[in-house]
Amino acid sequence: MEKLLEIVREGERENVEFKEMLSSHHLKAERFQSLACQMNHRLLMGKGRAIYVVGVSDSGSLKGISQESFDETLSVLEMLAIEIGAKIISVEKYEINGGVVGIVEIGKAKPKEHILVGTAGHVDHGKSTLVGCLLTGKPDDGDGAARVYLDVLKHEIERGLSADLSFAVFGFKDGKPIRLKNPLSKSEKAWIVENADKIVSFVDTVGHEPWLRTTIRGLLGQKIDYGLLVVAANDGIMRTTREHLGILLAMDLPVIIAITKTDMVDAEKLEKVWSEVTLTLRKVGRIPYAVKSREDAKKAARLVASKDLIVPVIEVSSITLEGYQLLEELLYRLPKRGDIERDFIMYIDRIYSVSGVGTVVSGSIKSGVIREGEEVLIGPFQDGSFRKTKILSIEMHYYRVEKAERGDIVGLAVKGVRYDELRRGMVVTKLPPRTVWEFEADVYVFSHPTRIKPGYEPVIHLETISETVVFEEMDVEYLKAGDRGRVRMRFKYHPQFILPGQKFIFREGRSKGMGEIVEIFE
């Protein structure tokens, strides 16, 4: 009853509607369509949830109606929901004035397919501009105007350099891209999630070398399906380009290359860049596949999804929008990768304290499915413990959904856990709790100026974990650039939740390497 009184006290608002009752009269064509549009609007404003309070007057007076009238109203609401692709989630009834008053919650399911694409590449090669032009369908002004849709920090906009991960949502309906008037609008993002048949979430990373750690977090910490590597036609392959390509390949991710800024060069320079791209790919055992037509795009999508060796390459210009239709065709055809049937795991990337909601943790789901109302574990805390928590709500790109699955970027409102108790790298999971300080891994050293011996302390990047580790024992006397070996490592500051088979990058200054966990010691 307290919940009902609180809703009525606050009155009708964007996603709350008062209805005394609905009857067969409301099923007449014109009236029915009007009510369906109204419900759809309520859902959009409520980020996927709408509440109908039945048995209440427009002014909020609790009248109460007969059980028969309530059932009829419920039937009409169900038909309205079906009309717009929604359904009744829950019904709560209260006896008032000898009649019934009810709270009916309406919800919509998320799109059929959702893929995650991580952008990478050298600074000023056009990653953010590429995504901005995709979202709006509008050309750039030659001065990076389109990138403002992704750079949201004040100093990013002023300097024209991305300094943190940004997220964008791009949708398709009936095979055609959905354009946004303002990609910064939360309601427009929510509208895409509500209406698209397929959505593509972009994780836009950072090309500037000082922020390589942030880029690694974006490519490892989010459950990326495909890597989109940009190469500017006026610059060609740079050291950062090779570094980002190495990270993508180390994580076994299929790669797509977009040669940007083609309007700035002549045919001879473009051919030279193609030669650089081809040579770079062949050195790492990959085969470039030129996408010059829609049929090429369709074939490339099949090839890159089934054979990791194939790398589609598309020429694009953000000034003329040349090549964008081919990139859109490719994105539309790319399938979701991986199996969603495994147990639920999400590594925490960001943590928020939201007024009226409480603690919210966000990240991309590594595996499995999560539903609103389910109980999960969160941890490990500093003492190695895990805590049971309930998922109060799930949001994807500002749109509330009932469930989410592998690869979805979501915010989870969690119960009974304070904002200041959590840290990036912790997990929300249905798996049995696992607290790890030490583990064994096969490692490969990309670069190091001298020799690596026991006691070496690099930073490891694994999922969203960014933590100093100590090389405790090695199966060889030392490791140098180009060497492989097995190393027993220990987290220096916090226990973590890790699993055999997970891959990671380690760094210390200009020293870099990768590894794969082979054994954990709980």
The amino acid present at 510, given as its one-letter code, is R
How far is the C-alpha of 151 from the C-alpha of 139, rounded, in Å?
Answer: 17
pLDDT in tens, 255-297: 999 999 999 999 999 999 999 999 999 999 999 999 999 999 9
Place 61 in a pLDDT band, splitting at 50, 70 and 90.
Answer: confident
Model pLDDT for residues 309-346, shown as the tens digit of each residue: 899 999 999 999 999 999 999 999 998 876 555 789 99
Are 230 and 125 in contact, with CB atoms under 8 Å apart? yes
The alpha carbon dihedral of 186, 188, 194, 196 has a sign of negative
What is the per-residue pLDDT for 114?
86
**In this predicted structure, what is the pLDDT of residue 347?**
95
Q: What is the mean pLDDT of the chain?
A: 86
Percentage of the chain modeled with pLDDT above 90: 55
Better pLDDT: 107 or 496: 496
Six-digit token string for 63: 């009248």
pLDDT band at 165 (very low <50, low <70, confident <90, very high): low
Residue 288: phi, psi to the nearest 5?
-70, 145
How open is the CA angle 374-431-219, to the nearest 5 degrees? 95
Question: What token pair was written down for 8?
Answer: 């009525």
pLDDT bucket at 220, cuts 50 / 70 / 90: low
pTM of this structure = 0.68
What does the pLDDT look like over 477-513, one tens digit per residue? 999 999 999 999 999 999 999 999 999 999 998 888 9
The overall longest dimension of the chain from CA atoms, in Å, is 85
> Which range is least confidently modeled, 56-65, 130-139, 207-216, 451-460?
207-216
pLDDT exceeds 90 at position 476: yes
Q: Which domains does the chain have, with CATH numbers?
A: 2-108 (3.30.110), 113-333 (3.40.50.300), 345-429 (2.40.30.10), 438-521 (2.40.30.10)
Task: Please tell me the predicted confidence (pLDDT) of residue 112.
Answer: 64
Least confident of 217-226, 243-252, 368-377: 217-226
* Lowest mean pLDDT across 70-84, 117-131, 329-343: 329-343
For residue 482, count CB atoms less than 10 angstroms from its CB and return exposed for 0-12, middle for 13-18, buried for 19 or more.
exposed
pLDDT at 163 over 80: no
Nearest CA among 413, 282, 295, 397 for reference residue 351: 413
Place of tokens 């596949």: 289
Pull the structure tokens for residue 238. Answer: 């740079």
Hey, what are 112's tokens?
């059929």
Query: Would the pLDDT of 222 be above 80?
Result: no
Q: Which helix (H) or strand (E) holds 168?
A: strand 166-173
